[in-house]
């Protein structure tokens, strides 16, 4: 999520640098913040959160929502799950049509109930991705990648991936720590593409943890070369210890 990117210097600054102008529209909302805390029955309407110039709800709008819900936008995956259930197609943006699914989507706590922050807050826990089984989780994991891209780019920057991956995958993978260590050996401008991202999940589900890597076949591996390199990296590391 965007706030997390503030911790990683480059991508965040790049993102911020892109649109300096909209900061102005942000401030009126900023003023509204303290007032919002006092009014939990605030309506979940598109106009409140959307960026008027863009015509979309952007990361900033989501931050506001997060604030009102009392959650940390940078670490709460339920926010991502929310965007996923709303069917967000563009990275980092929700259209009005998508926003309207607050009412129509059966997966959301606001389905058939008053469209307020209160309702959403009450049913917030139901959005937890941990409830999803592996088959349902796959599309969500893919969405995490898609939603955090920059514009039409087909990849994630290394640092973004480093922050995002552990957050999204949680404990579904026993390879996470090793993989992050491996990613850090890559140069800063290293990029991860969709195939590599999604394959990480599939790999985690199919292949056992180090050092055995049960289910791993080095000769006929159809995994992306990045995964092959990762396994070699861990094996080399274990040889040295």
Partner 1 sequence: MPPFCHLKNCTGRAHTFVQASQISPRNAYNLVLHKHGDLLYTGIQETVRTRLRSVMEDVIRSPDDQLLSQVCVQWKEHQVTMVMVRDILMYMDRTYVPQSKKMTVYDLGLWAFRETIVRHELVRERLRKLLLANIRSERLGQLIDHNSMRCALNMLTELGGDGSSIYEEDFELFFLEDTCRFYRCESRLFLSEHSCPDYLRKIESRITEEMKRVPNYLHASTRPKLKHIVEHELISAHASTLIGSKKIGFSTLLKESEYKMDDLRRMYALFLQAPATLDMLRTALYEHARTAGRLLIIDQIKEPIGFVRSLLALRTKYKKVVYIAFQRETLAQKKLKEAFDSFLNADIRCASSLVAYIDELMRTGFKGSTESEVEHELDKVIVIFRYLQDKDIFEVFYKQYLAKRLLNRRSTSSEAERQMLAKLKSECGYQYTTKLEGMLTDIRFSRNTMEKYAAHQDRLPPTSEVRSNASGSESDTKESCDMEVTVLTSGYWPPQSIVSCAIPSHAAAAAGDFQSFYLEQHSGRKLTWLTGSGTAELKASFSATAKHELNVSTYQMCILSQFNKLNCRAELSLQEIIDVTKIPHIELKRHLVSLCTPKHRILQKKSKGKGLSNDDSFQVNELFLSKLKRIRVPLVAMREITPHPHQTDHIPAAVQEDRRHLCEATVVRIMKARKQAKHNDLIAEVTRQLNQRFYPQPQSIKKCIESLLEREYLERSSQDPRMYIYLA
Does 195 help bind partner 1 (rule: CB under 8 A)? yes
Stretch that binds partner 1, among 24-32, 67-75, 171-179, 188-196 (CB under 8 A): 188-196
Does 154 help bind partner 1 (rule: CB under 8 A)? yes
Q: Are 41 and 192 in contact (CB under 8 A)?
A: no
Q: Which is nearer to partner 1, 127 or 227 (CB)?
A: 227
Token pair 């080095």: residue: 218
Stretch that binds partner 1, among 43-51, 78-86, 163-171, 196-204 (CB under 8 A): 196-204
Radius of gyration over every alpha carbon of the chain, rounded to an integer in angstroms: 20
Stretch that binds partner 1, among 36-44, 45-53, 157-165, 216-224 (CB under 8 A): 216-224
Token pair 């993989």: residue: 179
Does 206 help bind partner 1 (rule: CB under 8 A)? yes
Interaction residues for partner 1, span 90-129 (CB under 8 A): none
Of 199, 209, 213, 235, which lies in the binding site for partner 1, with binding defined by CB under 8 A?
Answer: 199
Strand, coil or helix: 39: coil
Q: Which is nearer to partner 1, 154 or 174 (CB)?
A: 154
Degrees, nearest 5: CA angle 22-27-28: 110
Residue 29 phi/psi, 5° resolution? -65, -40
CA dihedral 35, 36, 41, 45 (to 10 degrees): 120
50 secondary structure, DSSP code: E
Distance CA 88, CA 13 (A): 24
Stretch that binds partner 1, among 109-117, 124-132, 175-183, 201-209 (CB under 8 A): 201-209
Does 194 help bind partner 1 (rule: CB under 8 A)? yes
Interaction residues for partner 1, span 54-73 (CB under 8 A): none
Of 101, 223, 231, 234, which lies in the binding site for partner 1, with binding defined by CB under 8 A?
Answer: 223
Token pair 């292949």: residue: 207
Distance CA 51, CA 56 (A): 6
Query: Which positions touch partner 1 (CB under 8 A)?
Result: 138, 154, 193-195, 198-199, 202-203, 206, 220, 222-225
């Amino acid at each position: 999520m965007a706030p997390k990117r503030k911790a990683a210097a480059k991508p965040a600054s790049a993102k911020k640098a892109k649109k300096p102008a909209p900061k102005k529209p942000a401030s009126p909302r900023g003023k509204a913040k303290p007032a919002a805390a006092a009014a939990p029955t605030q309506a979940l309407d598109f106009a409140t959160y959307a960026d008027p110039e863009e015509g979309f709800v952007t990361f900033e709008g989501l931050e506001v929502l997060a604030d009102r819900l009392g959650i940390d936008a940078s670490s709460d995956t339920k926010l991502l799950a929310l965007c996923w259930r709303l069917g967000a197609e563009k990275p980092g943006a929700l259209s009005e049509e998508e926003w309207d699914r607050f009412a129509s989507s059966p997966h959301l706590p606001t389905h058939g109930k008053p469209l307020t922050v209160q309702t959403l807050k009450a049913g917030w826990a139901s959005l937890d991705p941990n409830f999803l089984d592996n088959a349902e989780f796959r599309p969500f994991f893919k969405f995490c990648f898609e939603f955090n891209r920059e514009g039409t780019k087909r990849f994630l920057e290394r640092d973004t991936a480093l922050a995002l991956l552990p957050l999204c995958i949680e404990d579904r993978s026993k390879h996470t720590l090793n993989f992050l260590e491996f990613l850090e050996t890559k140069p800063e401008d290293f990029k991860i593409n969709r195939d590599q991202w999604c394959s990480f999940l599939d790999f985690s589900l199919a292949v056992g943890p180090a050092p055995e890597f049960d289910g791993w076949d080095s000769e006929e591996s159809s995994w992306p070369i990045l995964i092959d390199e990762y396994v070699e990296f861990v094996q080399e590391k274990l040889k040295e210890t």
